[in-house]
């Protein structure tokens, strides 16, 4: 019996272009207080465009209805649990939205005089300090726009330091449990990728590591706890093996939600790490971005950080551009400032003890789920897990039902699916991270839903395999979408975009 179903609003809504009609407007500009100019005369006739063909013309009313209706077709944290592993879908505090929109912050131009930017710079300084305390590192840049961007920055920093020491080296070691951005980043940074297999506990195989580390290895990229939610027990030894050969340890900070206030990467041998503000520090995912990917480093890497660096000159903040060893810029301006504001607001709200309590709750929630689901789903790795837990679909697979099917059936119970089929070291993975945001009630709902589905797999597997059944949109045809991509609207009668 399904306990919790969130019915979807079923009205249809056309695309903007289909609602459009010539002459409808949704705007009004103030009257010009200067003379109008002739565009063709000022720009040259060839530089002036014809009308924007096909561009929508709708009223303000249609606009608000359109987007409001579309929004009701989305799932969101505000509606319920997202058990997505390593995504840390926690509550996005609303006060953060308010403060980011304060006029003095939202309208600040990055090139306005420093004397008129002291408040913005103080915010950057405060967040830098907080992240250093949390990570146990020595210096941090807030420039990178997202996790993957931070990873690239981090690897470029490693390259710069190794170059200064005489040899940038050729390879980066990446565990087979790693997130896809890790090898993609290594390749963009000009390194070859070498996979390191995990041992039977799902952790780094120290023997394999020792064999693999030579003078051509620049670094190893790890996530800790790793993507099965387990703390790498031998992380300090792994760091020593790398350091002994002049290589460095990069940590993907995606799973920091298990560590804040408990352990600091700077204390267990990490040389460079990135932090995901949109994960651990609550900034909103907004349907896929923006994010924030600060990179924190040990002292030796500090000179290479992206330019400019914020510093105190007497009682004033200033940006220092005299950084001859810097890797340069990884983006224009100073960082996703609006995201930094939100992250700082989150930290201020919690304080030191509060952040630690959040971590404790996150780990408690994941363990509670593990206990609740262990009797029903196969748990391939038995080590204690932290903020996330990974099951496999082995039991259900024997009956022809796989993790993807179970995930879709979970939608009928009113939840967003967990992470399907990742990490790769678990066959048929169900990767679940509840975060501290979930109440006992919500967790109990989730556990009961998963148990109910496990039972459905035995009594009525087809029901699960053909899910979801109660959504406005049923399973979409991803195959045709990829075979014959249609990536934009075109007026009726125009050729459909083909490959």
Partner 1 sequence: MRYLPKSDSERRLMLDACGAASAEDLFSHLPDEVRLKRPLELAPGISEYSIIDYFRARAAENANGYASFLGAGVYAHYRPVLVDTVVSRGEFLTSYTPYQAEIAQGTLTTIFEFQTMICQLTGMDVANASMYDGSTATPEAAMMAVRVTGRSGVLVSRAVHPEYREVLRTYARNQGMPVDEVGYDAATGGIDLEDLERKLTDDTAAVLIQSPNFFGVVENVKAAADLAHSRGALLVFLFTEAVSLGILAPPVDADIVAGELQSFAISPSYGGPYAGIIAAKERFLRQMPGRLVGETKDSRGNRAFCLTLSTREQHIRREKATSNICTNQALIALMATVFMTIYGKQGLRELAEQNLAKAHYLASKLKPRFSGPFFNEFVSNGRSPEEMNKTLLKKKIIGGLPLQRYYPELKDCALWCATEMSGRAQMDAVAEALQA
Partner 2 sequence: MSTYPEEFRYTKEHEWVKVEGDAGMVGITDHAQKELGDIVYVDLPKVGAKVEKGKSLGSVESVKAVSDIYSPVSGEVIAINETLTSAPEKLNEDPHGAAWLVKVRLSAPDEIKQLLSASDYQTYIGAES
Query: Which residues contribute to the site for partner 2 (CB under 8 A)?
Result: 421, 478-479, 482-483, 498-499
Minimum distance of partner 2 from residue 436's CB (angstroms): 31
Identify the three-state secondary structure at position 240.
helix
Minimum distance of partner 1 from residue 75's CB (angstroms): 4
Q: Is 219 in the site for partner 1 (CB under 8 A)?
A: no
Q: Is 478 in the site for partner 1 (CB under 8 A)?
A: yes
Q: How far apart are CA 208 and CA 203, in angstroms?
A: 11
Q: Is 51 in the site for partner 1 (CB under 8 A)?
A: yes
The partner in contact with residue 40, picked from partner 2, partner 1, none with C-beta cut-offs of 5 to 8 angstroms by kind, is none
- Enter the tokens of residue 75: 């799932």
Which positions from 244 through 283 interact with partner 1, judged by CB under 8 A?
260-264, 267-268, 278
The partner in contact with residue 73, picked from partner 2, partner 1, none with C-beta cut-offs of 5 to 8 angstroms by kind, is partner 1
- Residue closer to partner 1 by CB (options 72, 398) is 72
The partner in contact with residue 37, picked from partner 2, partner 1, none with C-beta cut-offs of 5 to 8 angstroms by kind, is partner 1
**In this chain, which stretch among 83-91, 205-213, 241-249, 453-461 interacts with partner 1, using CB under 8 A?**
83-91
- Enter the tokens of residue 260: 């804040």
- Residue closer to partner 2 by CB (options 70, 497) is 497
Q: Give the number of residues written for the chain.
A: 499
The partner in contact with residue 400, picked from partner 2, partner 1, none with C-beta cut-offs of 5 to 8 angstroms by kind, is none
Q: Is 11 in the site for partner 1 (CB under 8 A)?
A: no
Q: Is 93 in the site for partner 1 (CB under 8 A)?
A: yes
Which positions from 396 through 415 interact with partner 1, judged by CB under 8 A?
407-408, 411
Asked if residue 190 lies in contact with residue 219, where contact means CB atoms within 8 angstroms, the answer is no
Q: Quick one: DSSP state of residue 22?
A: T
The partner in contact with residue 206, picked from partner 2, partner 1, none with C-beta cut-offs of 5 to 8 angstroms by kind, is none
Asked if residue 265 lies in contact with residue 295, where contact means CB atoms within 8 angstroms, the answer is no
Please tell me the count of residues contacting partner 1 according to CB under 8 A.
202
Q: How far apart are CA 206 and CA 224, in angstroms?
A: 15
Identify the three-state secondary structure at position 147.
helix
- Residue closer to partner 1 by CB (options 17, 394) is 17
- Residue closer to partner 2 by CB (options 479, 495) is 479
The partner in contact with residue 2, picked from partner 2, partner 1, none with C-beta cut-offs of 5 to 8 angstroms by kind, is none
Minimum distance of partner 1 from residue 265's CB (angstroms): 9
Asked if residue 137 lies in contact with residue 265, where contact means CB atoms within 8 angstroms, the answer is yes
Write out the DSSP string of 100-112: HT-HHHHT--TTS
List the beta bridge partners of residue 170. Answer: none
Q: How far apart are CA 318 and CA 122, in angstroms?
A: 10
Minimum distance of partner 2 from residue 139's CB (angstroms): 39
Measure CA 412 to chain center: 25
Q: x-or-dash pattern for partner 1, window 184-203, by CB under 8 A?
A: xxxxxxx--x----------
Other beta carbons within 10 angstroms of residue 274's beta carbon come to 31
396: phi then psi, degrees, rounded to nearest 5 = -75, -30
Identify the three-state secondary structure at position 488.
coil
Q: Quick one: DSSP state of residue 120?
A: H
Minimum distance of partner 2 from residue 482's CB (angstroms): 4
Q: x-or-dash pattern for partner 1, window 286-305, by CB under 8 A?
A: xxxxxxx-------------
Identify the three-state secondary structure at position 204.
strand
Q: Is 394 in the site for partner 1 (CB under 8 A)?
A: no
Which positions from 321 through 360 interact with partner 1, judged by CB under 8 A?
327-339, 341, 345, 347-358, 360
- Residue closer to partner 1 by CB (options 207, 353) is 353
Q: Is 109 in the site for partner 1 (CB under 8 A)?
A: yes
Q: What is the CA radius of gyration of the chain?
A: 26
Helices (H), 313-413: 337-373, 394-397, 403-412
List the beta bridge partners of residue 204. Answer: 198
Minimum distance of partner 1 from residue 270's CB (angstroms): 11
The partner in contact with residue 272, picked from partner 1, partner 2, none with C-beta cut-offs of 5 to 8 angstroms by kind, is none
378: phi then psi, degrees, rounded to nearest 5 = -70, 135
Q: Element (H or E) spanning 296, and its range?
A: strand 295-297
313: phi then psi, degrees, rounded to nearest 5 = -120, 95
Q: Is 494 in the site for partner 1 (CB under 8 A)?
A: no
Which positions from 31 through 50 interact with partner 1, judged by CB under 8 A?
32-37, 39, 42-44, 46-49
Tokens 């506990």 label which residue?
A: 201
- Enter the tokens of residue 476: 């979409």
- Residue closer to partner 1 by CB (options 168, 394) is 168
């Amino acid at each position: 019996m399904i306990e919790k179903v969130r019915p979807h609003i079923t009205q249809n809504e056309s695309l903007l272009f289909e609602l459009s009609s010539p002459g409808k407007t949704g705007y009004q500009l103030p009257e010009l207080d200067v003379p109008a100019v002739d565009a063709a005369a000022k720009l040259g006739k060839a530089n002036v465009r014809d009308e924007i063909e096909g561009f929508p013309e709708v009223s303000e009313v249609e606009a608000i209805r359109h987007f409001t209706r579309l929004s009701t077709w989305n799932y969101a944290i505000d509606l319920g649990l997202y058990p997505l592993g390593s995504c840390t879908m926690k509550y996005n505090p609303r006060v953060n939205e308010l403060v980011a929109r304060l006029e003095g912050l939202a309208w600040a131009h990055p090139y306005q005089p420093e004397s008129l930017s002291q408040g913005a710079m103080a915010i950057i300084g405060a967040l830098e300090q907080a992240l250093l305390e949390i990570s146990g590192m020595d210096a941090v840049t807030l420039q990178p726009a997202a996790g993957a961007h931070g990873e690239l920055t981090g690897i470029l920093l490693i390259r710069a330091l190794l170059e200064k020491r005489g040899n940038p080296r050729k390879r980066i070691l990446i565990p087979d449990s790693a997130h896809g951005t890790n090898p993609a980043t290594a390749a963009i940074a000009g390194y070859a990728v070498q996979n390191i297999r995990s041992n039977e506990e799902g952790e780094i195989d120290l023997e394999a590591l020792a064999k693999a580390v030579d003078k051509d290895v620049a670094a190893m990229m790890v996530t800790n706890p790793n993507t099965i939610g387990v703390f790498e027990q031998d992380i300090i030894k792994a760091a020593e093996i790398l350091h002994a050969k002049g290589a460095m340890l990069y940590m993907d900070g995606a799973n920091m939600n298990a560590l804040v206030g408990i352990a600091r990467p700077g204390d267990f041998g990490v040389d460079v790490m990135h932090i995901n503000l949109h994960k651990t520090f609550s900034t909103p995912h907004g349907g896929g971005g923006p994010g924030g990917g600060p990179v924190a480093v040990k002292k030796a890497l500090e000179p290479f950080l992206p330019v400019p660096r914020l510093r105190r000159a007497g009682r004033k903040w200033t940006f220092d551009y005299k950084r001859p060893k810097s890797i340069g810029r990884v983006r224009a301006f100073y960082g996703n400032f609006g995201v930094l504001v939100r992250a700082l607001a989150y930290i201020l709200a919690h304080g030191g003890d509060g952040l630690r309590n959040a971590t404790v709750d996150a780990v408690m929630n994941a363990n509670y789920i593990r206990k609740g689901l262990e009797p029903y789903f196969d748990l391939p790795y038995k080590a204690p897990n932290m903020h996330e837990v990974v099951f496999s679909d082995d039991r259900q697979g024997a009956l022809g039902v796989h993790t993807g099917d179970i995930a879709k059936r979970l939608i009928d119970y009113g939840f967003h699916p967990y992470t399907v089929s990742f990490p790769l070291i678990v066959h048929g993975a169900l990767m679940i991270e509840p975060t501290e945001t979930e109440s006992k009630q919500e967790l109990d709902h989730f556990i009961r839903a998963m148990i109910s589905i496990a039972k459905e797999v035995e009594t009525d597997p087809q029901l699960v395999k053909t899910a979801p059944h109660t959504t406005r949109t049923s399973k979409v045809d991803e195959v045709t979408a990829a075979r014959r991509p249609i990536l934009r609207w075109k007026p009726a009668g125009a050729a459909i975009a083909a490959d």
